[in-house]
């Protein structure tokens, strides 16, 4: 029996922005239903790699297929298939947690009744009507996860999800990531350090200068 | 497209209702600008001047620039932009929705400032009411053009000075048509001819926006 096609395939992927190389020739294959942690120092290219996989920056040269979409093709189609949690905050600050999710649910043509369920799952049910700008950094991360749970993408791209999280938040994230991978999704996490949880046993890819310099399963 | 437009418009208007930027910042600015315009003419001349329609549209232009910038900034934070991009919204619908929300905000501001022009610039009440249809269409065209040029100037992330520089040449015909039709409503003349120019501009900007907004977003 043949193995399933990779969720992500990059061949000599180069991304230039303003003539500056963010990625300098990345080769990478990620299997479906897997967890990968991308590590590296500041400026190593972690966020750029995730943004490339999300279709948020264009491939300058090389080749790649992500979630079945050619990176030289329709990036809008790719964006519809992936879930993105950025480290900058991902919402309309003047809307409440619930209103942000209702907007996303309506955009995705999902029943808005799912909003209460995902807020409950990420532990934000009591803050549903709180303005997003009044949420703490950790609560905003949880809201980001709620957004992704609502979307249920096949590929989750989490950029520095552990930043500003306390121990409880990190444990919650680890558990949820484990559930998502067990449910069949592919998860890519960028982090300064390898994941703390030994149970998740992720593959760790290390970047430096926009190149993969280590790949450890 | 229409479903997306209504969704985006409702979201933008809800954000304005929550933030109250329009109520506590933009409207007071517009009223102050109108009062200062009256003072600049002088109390003797303000009531007899034919400059009322022009001053009304000049103040609306300043208000519109603030609101266009605001409309783009709420989408412009990097995280929000990326997250919303993954929702796969139809760009034509996003353009229509943002233009509709901006038009509603401009109409509300325009109503207040029309009342202000009756009080401060002493434009005739009946003539001002007759100008309402042309004001509605001109401000809608301004909203459509503003949404397009707001995206062209960097979607809230570009330099703040770029929007006025890019958009003023495009707004000029609208302002001239609006001022002429308002003047015609007050003093008699070819009201409908100028009103039609605004209507054609509205349709043209909506057409261009529907076709090109996606390209502007991507760039």
CA–CA dist B76, B85 (Å, integer): 11
Please report the residues numbered 95 through 134 in chain B whose beta carbons come closer than 8 angstroms to any beta carbon of chain A.
Answer: none
Confidence at residue A99, expressed as pLDDT on a 0 to 100 scale = 92
Chain B residues lying within 8 Å of A153, measured CB to CB: 86
- pTM as predicted: 0.84
Q: What percent of chain A has pLDDT over 90?
A: 14
Query: A52, A107, A109: best mutation site toward chain B, by most B Cβ within 10 Å?
Result: A107
pLDDT range class, residue A123, cuts 50, 70, 90: confident
Say yes or no for a CB contact (<8 Å) between B18 and A131: yes
A-B Cβ pairs (cutoff 8 Å, strict): 70
DSSP string, chain A: -PPPPPSEEEEEEEEEETTEEEEEEEEEEE-SS-EEEEE-STTSSHHHHHHHHTTSS---EEEEEETTEETTS-HHHHHHHEEEE-TT--S-TTSBHHHHHHHHHHHTT--TTHHHHHHHHTT-GGGTTSBGGGS-HHHHHHHHHHHHHHH--SEEEEESTTTT--HHHHHHHHHHHHHHHHTT-EEEEE-SS--S-TTT--EEEEEETTEEEEEE-
Confidence at residue A17, expressed as pLDDT on a 0 to 100 scale = 87
CA–CA dist B51, B61 (Å, integer): 15
| pLDDT above 80: residue B82 | no
Say yes or no for a CB contact (<8 Å) between A90 and B14: no
Mean pLDDT of B72-95: 81
Main-chain phi, psi angles of A188, to 5 degrees: -120, 125
Confidence at residue B47, expressed as pLDDT on a 0 to 100 scale = 59
Chain A residues lying within 8 Å of B157, measured CB to CB: none
Confidence at residue B97, expressed as pLDDT on a 0 to 100 scale = 94
Mean pLDDT of B1-23: 90
Higher pLDDT, A193 or A47: A47
Residue A213 is encoded by which pair of tokens? Answer: 């310099």
| pLDDT above 60: residue B17 | yes
CB-nearest to A94 from B18, B83, B218 is B18
Distance from CA of B87 to the nearest CA of A (A): 6
Residue ranges per domain, chain A? 8-216
Mean pLDDT of B128-135: 88
B219 touches chain A (CB under 8 A): no
Confidence at residue A200, expressed as pLDDT on a 0 to 100 scale = 66
What is the β-pairing status of strands A35-39 and A203-208? parallel
Average pLDDT, chain A: 85
| pLDDT above 60: residue A196 | no
| pLDDT above 70: residue B44 | no
pLDDT range class, residue B106, cuts 50, 70, 90: very high
Chain A residues lying within 8 Å of B4, measured CB to CB: 107
A133 touches chain B (CB under 8 A): no
Mean pLDDT of B17-39: 88
| pLDDT above 50: residue A187 | yes
B80 touches chain A (CB under 8 A): yes
Distance from CA of A121 to the nearest CA of B (A): 20
Mean pLDDT of B145-165: 79
Of B76, B62, B66, B65, nearest in space to B156 by CA: B76
CB-nearest to A90 from B74, B80, B218 is B80
CATH superfamily of A8-216: P-loop containing nucleotide triphosphate hydrolases (3.40.50.300)
Confidence at residue A138, expressed as pLDDT on a 0 to 100 scale = 81
| pLDDT above 70: residue A201 | no
Distance from CA of B75 to the nearest CA of A (A): 8
DSSP string, A51-111: HHHTTSS---EEEEEETTEETTS-HHHHHHHEEEE-TT--S-TTSBHHHHHHHHHHHTT--
A93-115 tens-digit pLDDT: 888 989 999 998 898 888 888 89
Chain B residues lying within 8 Å of A86, measured CB to CB: 78-79, 82-83
Nearest residue on chain A to B4, alpha-carbon basis: A107
Of B19, B150, B157, B52, nearest in space to A133 by CA: B19
Total domains in the fold of chain B: 1
| pLDDT above 90: residue B110 | yes
Mean pLDDT of B48-52: 73
Confidence at residue A142, expressed as pLDDT on a 0 to 100 scale = 86
A9 touches chain B (CB under 8 A): no
Which region, left, alpha or beta, applies to residue B77 given φ > 0 means left and ψ of -120 to 50 means alpha? beta
Q: Which of the listed ranges A93-107, A132-146, B44-58 does the model predict with the highest average pLDDT?
A: A93-107
Cβ neighbours for A95, distance < 8 A, ≥ 6 positions apart: A103, A131, A132, B11, B14, B15, B18
Chain B residues lying within 8 Å of A56, measured CB to CB: 82, 85
Which structural domain range is residue B155 located in?
2-218
Average pLDDT, chain B: 86
Q: What percent of chain B has pLDDT over 70?
A: 94
């Amino acid at each position: 029996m043949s193995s399933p096609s990779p969720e992500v395939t990059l061949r000599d992927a180069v991304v230039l922005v303003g003539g500056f190389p963010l990625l300098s020739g990345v080769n990478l294959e990620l299997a479906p239903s897997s967890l990968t942690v991308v590590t590296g120092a500041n400026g190593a290219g972690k966020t750029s790699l995730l943004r490339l996989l999300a279709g948020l920056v264009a491939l300058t040269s090389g080749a790649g297929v992500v979630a079945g979409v050619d990176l030289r093709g329709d990036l809008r189609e790719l964006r519809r298939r992936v879930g993105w949690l950025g480290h900058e905050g991902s919402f309309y600050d003047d809307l409440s947690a619930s209103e942000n999710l209702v907007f996303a649910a309506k955009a995705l043509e999902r029943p808005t009744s799912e909003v209460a369920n995902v807020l409950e799952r990420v532990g934000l049910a009591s803050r549903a009507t709180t303005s997003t700008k009044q949420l703490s950094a950790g609560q905003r991360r949880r809201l980001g996860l709620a957004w992704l749970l609502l979307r249920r993408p096949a590929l989750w791209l989490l950029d520095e999800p552990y930043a500003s999280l306390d121990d409880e938040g990190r444990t919650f994230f680890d558990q949820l990531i484990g559930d998502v991978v067990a449910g069949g999704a592919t998860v890519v996490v960028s982090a300064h350090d390898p994941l703390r949880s030994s149970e998740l046993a992720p593959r760790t890819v290390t970047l430096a200068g926009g190149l993969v310099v280590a790949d450890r399963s | 497209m229409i479903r997306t437009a209504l969704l985006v418009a409702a979201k933008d208007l809800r954000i304005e209702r929550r933030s109250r930027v329009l109520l506590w910042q933009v409207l007071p600015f517009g009223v102050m600008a109108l009062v200062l315009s009256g003072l600049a003419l002088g109390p003797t001349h303000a009531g007899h001047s034919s400059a009322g329609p022009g001053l009304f549209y000049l103040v609306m232009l300043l208000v519109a620039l603030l609101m266009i910038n605001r409309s783009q900034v709420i989408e412009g934070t990097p995280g929000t932009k990326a997250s919303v991009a993954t929702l796969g919204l139809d760009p034509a619908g996003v353009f229509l929705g943002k233009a509709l929300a901006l038009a509603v905000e401009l109409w509300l501001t325009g109503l207040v400032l029309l009342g202000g022009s009756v009080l401060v610039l002493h434009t005739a009440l009946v003539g001002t009411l007759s100008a309402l249809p042309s004001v509605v269409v001109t401000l809608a065209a301004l909203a459509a053009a503003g949404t397009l040029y707001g995206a062209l100037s960097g979607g809230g992330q570009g330099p703040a000075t770029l929007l006025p520089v890019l958009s003023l040449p495009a707004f000029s015909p609208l302002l001239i048509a609006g001022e002429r039709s308002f003047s015609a409503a007050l003093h008699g003349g070819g009201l409908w001819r100028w009103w039609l120019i605004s209507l054609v501009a509205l349709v043209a900007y909506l057409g261009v926006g529907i076709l090109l907004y996606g390209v502007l977003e991507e760039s």
